[in-house]
Amino acid sequence: MSDTSGTPEGQVADAVKGNWVDRLAPAAARPYLRLSRADRPIGTWLLLLPCWWGLLLATAMTGEFGLSDLWIAVGCAIGAFLMRGAGCTWNDITDRHIDGSVARTRSRPIPSGQVGVKGALVWLVAQSLLAFCILLTFNLAAIALGIGSLALVCIYPFAKRFTWWPQVFLGLAFNWGVLLAYTAHTGSLGWPAVLLYLSGIAWTLFYDTIYAHQDAEDDALIGVKSTARLFGERSPVWLRRFLVATVLLMSAAVILALAGPANPLTLALALGAPWAMGWHLAWQLGRLDTGDPDLCMRLFRSNRDAGLIAALFLALSQLV
């Protein structure tokens, strides 16, 4: 069903136009898939890519990539889709009154009346249980890390109420997959994974500050905090700092992991990951206009490509 303008009934304002949920999903499932942001896949990518970074860094360090690692990669992809959906469902439950006051978010399923709170809670539990089943296929250390991430998922929606830095909490949660996937391969945490995790947090601060500029005016009216509001016109200065931190921390992770066991060509290709990604972030920064919400959304979504570039270089390094 569509309205007279041709827009699918119930479509969320910032959804990708012509997405598979609006075109192909059964009508009864659409509100719940929209609640999980399945019509906006960028969040799944941003949750998944750090998982692949962690796995690829671990396999480059050990020189091993087997069928179990292929399952880790696939399991992380399925788990990212499910846990991103569960996290967004939890976010929309806690933010249902705020979302109704913001132009970009008032069309989401809960504030628009497509889904009730009880139905959303059932959907949240269903997604979480499926993700937990996948987690149970990993080793015990990775399972423990996966369970530990739940605290961050629960806290994040409230962060914008008590800190100007909610993007830090998002970064802590969204990049946890680095630690989990690295540990799923190696059986234990290591400093390379920690440095890569910190790099991911800096990257999240970069892209989510850009994202938050879309809502800065509405957020100011309702008292919601964000780095976009905190930095204001100085956002490009802070974004440059986050860019540099992303590149340097990822470079340090690669050097710590590979400087000893890897041959020079492997190390050089792996170091291409942070520097090529850094060029992409610099390109975003060069185009940024914080007063243009549509451009902010396009640049935010382009971070899928930035993260894939880093994953590609880490993967290429293992072909040597």
What is the per-residue pLDDT for 140? Answer: 97
Asked whether residue 76 is domain-assigned, the answer is: yes
Asked whether residue 65 is domain-assigned, the answer is: yes
Nearest-angstrom CA–CA distance, 101 and 111: 9
Q: Which two tokens stand for residue 121?
A: 């809670």
CATH number of the domain bearing residue 188: 1.10.357.140
Nearest-angstrom CA–CA distance, 253 and 201: 14
Question: Are 145 and 193 contacting, i.e. CB atoms less than 8 angstroms apart?
Answer: no
Residue-number span of the structural domain to which 49 is assigned: 41-319
Place of tokens 């360090």: 61
**pLDDT tens, 272-305?**
999 999 999 999 999 999 999 999 999 999 999 9
Asked whether residue 27 is domain-assigned, the answer is: no
Average pLDDT over residues 168-190: 96
Please give the share of the chain, as a percent, with pLDDT higher than 90: 69
What is the per-residue pLDDT for 225? Answer: 92
What is the per-residue pLDDT for 4? Answer: 40
**pLDDT tens, 233-271?**
999 999 999 999 999 999 999 999 998 766 888 899 999
Asked whether residue 100 is domain-assigned, the answer is: yes
- Gyration radius of the chain over CA positions: 20
Asked whether residue 11 is domain-assigned, the answer is: no
Number of domains in the chain: 1
Q: Which two tokens stand for residue 37?
A: 């942001």
Asked whether residue 122 is domain-assigned, the answer is: yes
Asked whether residue 225 is domain-assigned, the answer is: yes
Nearest-angstrom CA–CA distance, 209 and 206: 6
Residues 6+ apart with CB under 8 A from 318: 56, 59, 60, 65, 266
Residues 6+ apart with CB under 8 A from 266: 60, 258, 317, 318, 320
Instruction: Return the H-helix or E-strand segment holding 300.
Output: helix 293-301
Asked whether residue 15 is domain-assigned, the answer is: no
What is the per-residue pLDDT for 107? Answer: 79
